[in-house]
Amino acid sequence: MSRLIPHPGLSALLVVVWVLMVNDLSFGALFLGIIIGVLLPIFTAPFWPGRPNVNYVAGIAYFGLVLWDIIVANFEVAAIILFKRNRDLQPAWLIVPLELGTPEAITVFAGTISLTPGTVSTDVSACGTYLLVHALDAPDPQADVDRIKSRYEARLNKVFA
Amino acid sequence: MSLITHLAIAPVVIPALAAPLALLVMRRRRALGIGISLVSAAAMLLAALALLWAASDGTIRTYELGDWPAPFGIVLVVDRLSAIMITLAASLSVIAMLHAVLTRADRKGWHFHPLFQFQMMGLNGAFLTGDLFNLFVFFEVLLIASYGLMLHGQGPARLKAGVQYVIVNIVGSSLFLIALGLLYALTGTLNMADMGLRVAEIGPDDQGLLRVAALLLVTVFALKAALVPLHLWLPRTYAVSTPAVAALFAIMTKVGVYSIIRVVPQVFGDGAGAAAWAPAPYLLPAAIVTAIIGFGGVFVARSLSEQAAYAVIGSTGTLLIAVAGWQQDTLSAALYYLVHSTLAGAALFLVADIVARRRAGFADNASPGPDFAQRQFVALLFLAAAIAATGLPPLSGFIGKLLILESVADVPFWGWSWAAILFSTLIGVIGFARTGSLIFWKETAPSKAGPLEGALPATVSRADMVAPIIAIVLLAALSLGAGGATDYTAEAAAQLLDSAATAHAVLGDR
Amino acid sequence: MIGSISIAEIVISLMLVIGASFALIGSWGLVRLPSLMERLHGPTKATTLGLGGMLVGSLLFFQLELGHWTTHELLISLFLFITAPISANMIAKAHLHHLQIEQGNAGPAGKPPNPPSDSDWATYETPRPIIPEAPPSDDR
Amino acid sequence: MIGYAVIFGMACLALALGLNLWRLLKGPSIGDRILAMDTMVINTIAIILLIGIANESGSFFEAALLLAMVGFVGTVAYCKFLLRGDIIE
Amino acid sequence: MTLEFLVASAIGVLVAGGIYMALRGRTFQVVLGLTLFSYAVNLFLFASGRLTVNRPPIWSKTVTEYADPLPQALVLTAIVITFGMTAFAVVLALRSFLETGSDQVDGDIVSSDDQQPDGNGAG
Amino acid sequence: MAIPLTLYTLVLLPFVAALLIAAIGGNARVLHSGIAAAGSAMGLALIVSAAGRVIGGEEFAVAIAWVPAIGLEFSLMIDPLGLMFAGLILGIGLLVVIFGHFYLAEGEATARFFASLMLFQGAMLGIVLAGNVLLLLIFWELTSLSSFLLIGFWRHKAEARQGARMALAVTGGGGLVLIAGMVLLGIVAGSFDLMTILASADVVQASPLYPVILILILIGCFTKSAQFPFHFWLPHAMAAPTPVSAYLHSATMVKAGVFLLARLWPVLSGTDLYTVIVTSVGLVTMTFGAFVALFRHDLKSILAYSTISQLGLLVMLLGFSIKMAAVAAVLHILNHAAFKAALFMTAGIVDHESGTRDIRRLGGLAKMMPITAIIATTAAAAMAGLPPLGGFISKEMMLYETLEISLFGLPWLVPVVATIAATLSVGYSLRLAWHLFFGSPREPEPYARAHDPGVGMWASPAVLVLLAVLLGLFPMLLAGTLVASVAGAVIGEPLPTLDLSLWHGVNWALGMSMMAVAGGVLLLWRHKDLLLATASLLRPDAKAMFQSLMAGADTLVRKFIVTTHTPSLQRMVFATFSVVVVVVIEGAITGGGILTGPREGLPASPVAIVAWLLLIIATAAVVNDERHRFRVLVYISVIGLIIALAFVQFSAPDLALTQISVEVVTILLLLLALNLLPKAPPLLSSSPRKWRDGAVACLGGLLVGGAAWAMLTREPNDPISSYHLANSYSGGGGTNVVNVTLVDFRAFDTLGEIIVLGIAGLAIFALLDTTSRGSAGARLRTWQQDVPHSPESHPIMFVMSTRILLPLVLSAGIYMFLRGHNQPGGGFIAALVVAIAFLLQYLASGFDWTDARRRIGEHTMIAFGVLVAMVTGLGALIFDANFLATAFDYFTLPLIGEFELATAVLFDVGVFCVVFGAVMLALAQLSHIAQRAARAHQAQLDEEKAEGSR
Ligand code: NA
Ligand code: NA
């Protein structure tokens, strides 16, 4: 079974994506989706060595949280762009120490940071233990670092258990 | 539906199948790949001859691809003209490929045979199609293949010339598309026969646009045909190409000429209003200048291959002098001379190659060198090729020029045409006499003149004489059989001037 | 008073307006913010809420107004959520590189401080491999 | 009403594109130009969506989808070029 | 301000830019020029079917008006071919630069003129 | 032997002999000369056998159709004129072959010599026996060619090569002029059959073209027969071996012009124009040649100029347009052939035996070589026209006829000049004999060497001299009937009674020739003083003039060709676009019509206007920033984006998809290339050139834009695509009409299109495969990154995201492919999407990493794709349908529901494979060299680092 479906999560995602793509929940579509969901991961397995295990429940929860944060943060940043003058702006570099192990986790983490407006993850340290983040307006950088770590990294640790 | 009905598609299908097969086997089993290539060439020749025979009864056969009726689908048209061109191309391909294989020139780089086959597919498609956009597509096929072949063997000279050749042709193709766009916008069709009927209905408001389209299209063809002043791309390109390839390229400029004599009467004939015979007033002067400049190049060229390249230009000029008459007899003369000059050009390039291989470091430069193997015989071959290229008796060039002289005698400005043809012949003769006497008569003691830099050991395999001999034999045959040949070309010319008949054959009763 | 206009219409219109506005704001940020790193924040609006809003709007529109069941919008946002951070990240890295080789305008945030470890940022120093390497499949 | 929303959206995005153009030409750094180009892609996706809504037609989604999928490739390629010169190494 | 005008003028500008670039002295510019030119050409060919808004040529029983599908097919073919040609031109430009060390389109190499003259008079 | 067969045999024999000799090759000298002699002898025999009946007045003609289209037949005819010339050609040919056999040294290329000689003989026979003027022209040019080979026989001698080329240039060129004249003549006469032409004098002479025809033909004849001012090639043709001179320059080739004059006498002569031109040219040539001959020192040169003079005499006679003059001409042709050939041979003997031809170094040879002396002296006497030799009779007749002619209204002009010329020729003839054989030897060495040759060598000239003598003694018996009939043939009607004899009683002619003899003796006596007197006279050296003319033409033309044709892409492209601009303007003006059509336009939305601005400004930016290549690329991709948007706006979803995906691949390609190209090299163009280019560019833009505008504002003209719309679903089985068009209606286009892409991939591969070698390899090895780069090659975020993207994008690709037939998409777009998915892996994780995970080689993909498409197309043939015909049907499976299977989709698979293969091949190959370059560079850096550390 695990050889047939090396990565159930990916397969599931592909099936979903397929159904969304063909825009049709008929059995035929689903059937084809399942075929693709099974075949593509096998075909592309060599291109993704060492896929991590994922806790999907935590993952979906995390996704919802991020969505919400995005919406909120959007308004904050919009306000900044519209109303805050450049000289009042306090951009800052945040250095986020990483506890996440797998590159996948780090990537998702960095991606989250970038997607939530006001912060852009810029680089990872050569040793892979620090994340360089640019904040658009961070009067208190350390607070932002803590918020990011507690809010996202902690949760991601659960997702990529 | 017998196989004969499918014969029309054979010249395209054969190379299109041979190319990928050769590509697949070539890496592991070269011999097999070459075999496929040669077999395909032979098969093409057979198919072409069959079509030539089939077309000789005067019926125009059409082949509707995908069974979509013309003008909605693409249709192939097999009349005498296309049959002639196909046969010429096939014969030339046999000669060129044989030479490449015998001289092992095909091993000087990757994918010679697949490219060669695709080149043939492009040529045959261009000669057969009755659809203007499809003509564009096949132009592109034969062009991109020619890029690959032209650069076969590489080296700085080819690369530098290649850049220019490629870019000029890309410009040409773009212009082709503009003309096509205009024509579709005006006529709403792409089928040449249909277009020929529809241009007649175009209103007075659109005449300007129509004429622009016609002239633009012919300009593109003139670029391919290397008509002055659109000829500048040719000399270096052909001179530096691998000789076997250059020999095949002898027909490339003729594709442009073919397109002119195919499209102008069919689409821009008497009915075409402001576009009727649009290029006529400019073709003759351009052709005259082309003939003279071409053989002027022969007069001063410093190497046989360069001479051959200029001879190709000159012959195109001579040819178009006849075309510019737009009469049955002038077109007939043009067709005969077209076949002749293609073979003659090929022969020249191949002989140049023989000389270059034997003179090693001295290459085919018009400079004295030490004695070399089979000099007498090579000299004979050169003499024959030069005789053919300049149009002296007894080879077919002389008959071709007589045909042109006589046929244009009732065309305005015939005096100029005659002067151009005879004068260009004279300077051509002098030019070839010069290079010939320098290479084959004037000798330098090997000690005195050491071979130039990067001299390779002289190749003295007699095998490399086979292909040029075939070419020259064909020229002789064309001369002896000139009676039959001219009958065929005369009828071909009549056929292509009778655009109504073609339209009926292609479109039926519409 | 707005009985003539269905709730759906209002919601859809709202989503579209919000989306478009955010896209505009993002681009405005791109123009007005002081340096590249700040400007980088602008487009993230456009990608996230901007497009997000419009996608939801379009989704609802086809659902409620035309009754087509369309889900492409979700896909589009899915792909954007994956790709947008990469673009931002690569642009930022290019900027870091630019800062180093050409002493370009670092902007108000100044140059990034070194990480509190002996190693530098990956843009400046060859990173040690943290990506697991599996042997390529042999069936080729 | 939706019609007005669409028109408003179009206007916003037109303006947005204009602003992107300004950044594209102004630079100053090449990164700014790339960013501007990237933003244009995003805005174009939005425009395509609006066109779809305005035309009540779903046949433009593929274009939007494709842009969302491959639009960023150009951006990353440009950046990779700046970072490494050789984009495929 | 009609769409027709916008398209026509855009084509004109692209052609102008394309021709100008194609006349430059270095291969890369020339290739970019050809790219611009081919954009224009594709638009032109497309325009031969006239401009149609919101009538994609996807057949359905209910619809009667469509954009002209033929030019679209032609342009698609043209785009592909142009891509192939451009790709080849780019590679060739690069290859020739690597071989000769010059990315100039002109400037003669291995010209036959530097050989000793062997005029028609002499010999 | 039947005459017709005889004729063919006559003409073919020499060619067969030539072939045989060439085939044998080697240095089987005896065999070569033997075959040649046998050939000539057989021919001669045939002629003799036919002679009786021909002279008897019968005319024989045979013809085989060859090219009816131009009235060219392989037709031969023999009449007395032809008979006489054929006799000369074969008879003297035979003697020359014998002479040549002994003359040529051991180890000379006798095969080449005799083969060429026979070739020439055949060509000459062809000329004199041709019954069709076009055929005559063919043989005419052949004589030029073969004489080129013969004159250049001693190819190692510069003067031989130059002489040969000069002869070819003049006679060949004259031949071309003759072609013009003859073809015109034929057109006017309405036939190219010689007999018909000869019979149509009235038509021809009435035609307005007559002067043109006459002059063209005369030029042809004069060049061949070395008439002033075309005479100069003949002396330089003396570089040929003496047998050749004896053959070509006495009896045959140079007589071809005279022959043609005689042949066409009935149709051309008789007009004042004819008389004036031909007579005066002949007169001048005769005098000039004789004068020069008097002061030459090289034996062959003297003979050459004497030949020129004698030919002038013949031409003049024919110019008289008088019957008896023609008779004189015919008789003199015979005489001249005899004595001149003999003289050439004796000159050869003297040269051969004494080692020099310089008359100033010889003398008194009579003692050493008596036989030669007798032969030569007699021949010279004949040339001088002394009784009782044949030369006397013909000269007598000539002088007599001059009295009948008044040129330019001056009745005395011709006789006086003719007498002077006669005097001069007596002079040079006497001098030739005297200075050579009598008096005291001027130099000891050649004198001592000299001795008579073996009989083999003097036999031939002896025979000829004997002929010359007998022609004088028994003219009527020997030549009476022949001359009469020949002259009859020339004139085209029987002659009045003819009386050839030495003594006609005392008349003007006798006086004139006595004066000539006396003057000649005087000239010989005072020769030294004359030499001194004329030494100061400038002698224009024809050779030098000809060569400087040629060299001048060469440099001039070469300068032109080089300056205009040195490959310049900028010039080529500029020429092309200029032509386009001109052509379009011409078309628009000449064609007329209106610019703006009636179709009403679509309103432009603000987005459209902004997008338009974007496109235009981006284009301007490209031109403006052309130097900053990278920046320009960014602008280009913006333009591409806008165009995609335009396709969306204008209901072309498929095009939008294609545009977007092609754009991505193109950018990757350009970036890969740019990495190795200069990033911002200095611009080349000077500012005036920029303005020039700018002007053309703007014109071009204006015109094409205008055309687009004109197009867009017109109503479509019921396009064929309505059929496609109507039949797409019913006949093609798909609702996406564009896709159905691509894979069905116009699948043939698509086939070509994918093959173009496939070839591009293969060609790129072939092009780049060699990059690591040669100078390119060297350049790559020393390649320097021009800007410092970041050390990080695979950014983690990028890498990881592409790993999740790969399957997602692939599924999207599959989706695009499957629905292509009915919705936007299709094989091509799917292929690009899939290719991009993999290219992302290359970009993120590097070449090696990705390449190691590839499954199928690109070459295979391309080949397979083409095959699939072809086989799909051919499959139709099985079902009696045409190539590329498609079939489709709808099936229903439980649970799955209804779905469609169309062969067109199979075709699309082919499309997919080729496109994917080609794109991957091109980019992989390109990135590969970039990588190799980078590696080479890296290796070098490491090396240096190692050096530094040590
Ligand atoms: Na005619
Ligand atoms: Na079908």
**Mean of per-residue pLDDT scores for chain F:** 89
- A67-91 mean pLDDT: 89
- F30-44 mean pLDDT: 94
Contacts of B367 in chain E (CB under 8 A): 115-116, 118
CB contact under 8 A, D57 and E53: no
Residue F933 has pLDDT above 70, yes or no: no
CB contact under 8 A, A107 and F806: no
CB contact under 8 A, C98 and D31: yes
CA distances from F659 to D64, E71, F644, F676, F790 (A): 12, 15, 6, 26, 32
Q: What angle do CA B348, B354, B359 make, to 5 degrees?
A: 125
**What's the CA gap between B458 and B465, in Å, rounded?**
15
Banded pLDDT at F192 (limits 50, 70, 90): very high
**What's the CA gap between F762 and F553, in Å, rounded?**
46
pLDDT in tens, A17-64: 999 888 887 888 888 899 999 999 988 888 888 777 888 889 999 999
Most F CBs within 10 Å: which of E94, E104, E115, as the mutation test of the F interface? E94
Q: What angle do CA F711, F712, F713 make, to 5 degrees?
A: 95
ipTM for the predicted complex: 0.94
pTM: 0.94
Residue B325 has pLDDT above 60, yes or no: yes
Ligand 1 is an ion; residues with CB less than 5 A from it: B 327, 329, 407, 410
* Residue from the list D10, D15, D35 with its beta carbon closest to the beta carbon of C39: D35
Question: What percentage of residues in chain B have a pLDDT greater than 90?
Answer: 86
Q: Closest-lying ligand to the alpha carbon of B408?
A: 1
CB contact under 8 A, C131 and F797: no
**C34 CA to chain F: closest CA distance, Å?**
21
Neighbours of chain D (3+ CB pairs under 8 A): C, E, F
Residue with tokens 């260009």: B424
Dist. CA B9 → ligand 1 center (Å): 35
Contact A17, C75 (CB under 8 A): yes
Nearest CA to F333 out of F365, F349, F354, F310 is that of: F310
Written as six digits, the tokens of F722 are: 């309505």
pLDDT in tens, F818-845: 888 888 888 999 999 999 999 999 999 9
Banded pLDDT at E48 (limits 50, 70, 90): very high
Q: Domains of chain D (ranges plus CATH)?
A: 2-84 (1.10.287)
In chain C, whose CA is at the least distance from the CA of F799?
C131
Window C:95-114, CB contacts with D under 8 Å: 95, 97-98, 104-105
Angle between helices E3-22 and F606-624 (to 10 degrees): 10
Question: Is B181 at the interface with chain E, CB within 8 A?
Answer: yes
**What's the CA gap between B217 and B173, in Å, rounded?**
10
Contacts of F669 in chain E (CB under 8 A): 86-87, 90
**D67 CA to chain C: closest CA distance, Å?**
9
pLDDT in tens, B428-447: 999 999 999 999 988 776 54
Q: What is the pLDDT of residue F529?
A: 80
Contacts of A41 in chain F (CB under 8 A): 807
Dist. CA F741 → ligand 2 center (Å): 10
Written as six digits, the tokens of C103 are: 């002493």
Dist. CA D61 → ligand 2 center (Å): 29
Contacts of F605 in chain D (CB under 8 A): 10
* Residue from the list D40, D69, D77 with its beta carbon closest to the beta carbon of F843: D77
Question: Is F195 at the interface with chain B, CB within 8 A?
Answer: no
Nearest CA to B81 out of B331, B321, B249 is that of: B331
Least confident stretch, F340-354, F441-455, F477-491, F930-944? F930-944
Nearest CA to F83 out of F330, F406, F279, F319 is that of: F330
Window F:731-770, CB contacts with B under 8 Å: 731, 744-749, 751-753, 755-756, 758-760, 762-763, 765-767, 769-770
Residues F77-87, buried b or exposed e (16+ Cβ, 10 A)?
Answer: bbbbbbbbbbb
Most C CBs within 10 Å: which of D55, D56, D72, D89, as the mutation test of the C interface? D72
Angle between helices E69-100 and F903-949 (to 10 degrees): 20
pLDDT in tens, B336-359: 999 999 999 999 999 999 999 888
Q: What is the pLDDT of residue F530?
A: 81
Contact D43, C23 (CB under 8 A): yes
Question: What percentage of residues in chain F have a pLDDT greater than 70?
Answer: 97
Contact B470, B160 (CB under 8 A): no
Written as six digits, the tokens of C116 are: 């509190």
Most A CBs within 10 Å: which of C15, C31, C45, C139, as the mutation test of the A interface? C45
Residue E119 has pLDDT above 70, yes or no: no
Contact B256, B226 (CB under 8 A): yes
Summary count for chain B: helices (H), strands (E): 21, 2
CB contact under 8 A, F575 and B229: yes
Contacts 24+ apart (CB under 8 A), F812-819: F812/A17, F812/A21, F812/D65, F812/D66, F812/D69, F813/F837, F814/A36, F815/A18, F815/A21, F815/A22, F816/D62, F816/F657, F817/F908, F817/F912, F819/A22
Least confident stretch, B105-109, B473-477, F400-404, F870-874? F400-404
Least confident stretch, B104-113, F483-492, F848-857, F932-941? F932-941
Q: What is the pLDDT of residue B453?
A: 43
Question: Is D14 at the interface with chain C, CB within 8 A?
Answer: no
Contacts of B384 in chain F (CB under 8 A): none
Written as six digits, the tokens of F934 are: 């980078």
Question: What percentage of residues in chain B have a pLDDT greater than 70?
Answer: 96
Q: What is the DSSP string of D13-57?
A: HHHHHHHHHHHHHH-SSHHHHHHHHHHHHHHHHHHHHHHHHHTT-
What SS3 class is residue F893?
strand
Amino acid at the residue F757: L
Q: Closest-lying ligand to the alpha carbon of B414?
A: 1
Chunked mean pLDDT (size 10), chain C, 140 residues: 71 93 93 92 81 89 82 89 93 93 81 87 83 51
In chain E, whose CA is at the least distance from the CA of D57?
E54
Q: What is the pLDDT of residue B290?
A: 97
**F912 CA to chain B: closest CA distance, Å?**
15
Residue B460 has pLDDT above 90, yes or no: no
Least confident stretch, B152-156, B227-231, C129-133, F939-943? C129-133
pLDDT in tens, F61-109: 999 999 999 999 999 999 999 999 999 999 999 999 999 999 988 788 8
**Mean of per-residue pLDDT scores for chain B:** 93
Neighbours of chain A (3+ CB pairs under 8 A): C, F
Q: What is the pLDDT of residue B454?
A: 44
Most A CBs within 10 Å: which of F790, F802, F803, F890, as the mutation test of the A interface? F803
In chain A, whose CA is at the least distance from the CA of C95?
A122
Q: What is the pLDDT of residue C138?
A: 44
Question: What percentage of residues in chain E have a pLDDT greater than 70?
Answer: 86
Q: What is the pLDDT of residue C131?
A: 62
Choose the most confident range, by mean pLDDT, from F315-324, F391-400, F862-871.
F862-871
Q: What is the pLDDT of residue F527?
A: 77
Are chains D and C in touch, 3+ Cβ pairs below 8 Å?
Answer: yes
**In sequence order, what are the residues at sequence separation of 6 or more whose Cβ sits closer than 8 angstroms to the Cβ of residue F228?**
F281, F284, F285, F288, F289, F308, F312
Residue F546 has pLDDT above 90, yes or no: no
Question: Is B434 at the interface with chain E, CB within 8 A?
Answer: yes
CB contact under 8 A, B159 and E71: no
pLDDT in tens, F731-759: 888 899 999 999 999 999 999 999 999 99
Q: Closest-lying ligand to the alpha carbon of F872?
A: 2
- F645-674 mean pLDDT: 95
Q: Does B259 or A139 have the greater pLDDT score?
A: B259
Most F CBs within 10 Å: which of C24, C120, C131, C133, as the mutation test of the F interface? C131
Q: What angle do CA A100, A101, A105 make, to 5 degrees?
A: 60
pLDDT in tens, F911-925: 999 999 999 999 988
Window A:100-139, CB contacts with C under 8 Å: 103, 106, 110-111, 114-115, 117-130, 132, 134, 136
Beta bridge mates, B369: B443
Contacts of E54 in chain D (CB under 8 A): 54-55, 57
Are chains E and C in touch, 3+ Cβ pairs below 8 Å?
Answer: no
Count CA atoms closer than 13 A to A107's CA, side-chain side: 22
Q: What is the pLDDT of residue C44?
A: 78
Most E CBs within 10 Å: which of B154, B170, B306, as the mutation test of the E interface? B170
Question: Is D23 at the interface with chain F, CB within 8 A?
Answer: no
CB contact under 8 A, C140 and F854: yes
Q: What is the pLDDT of residue F939?
A: 73
Contact B197, B503 (CB under 8 A): yes
* Count of positions (residues) in chain D: 89
CA distances from C140 to F854, F923, F947 (A): 7, 20, 41
Residues B308-330, buried b or exposed e (16+ Cβ, 10 A)?
Answer: bbbbbbbbbbbbbbbbbbbbbbb
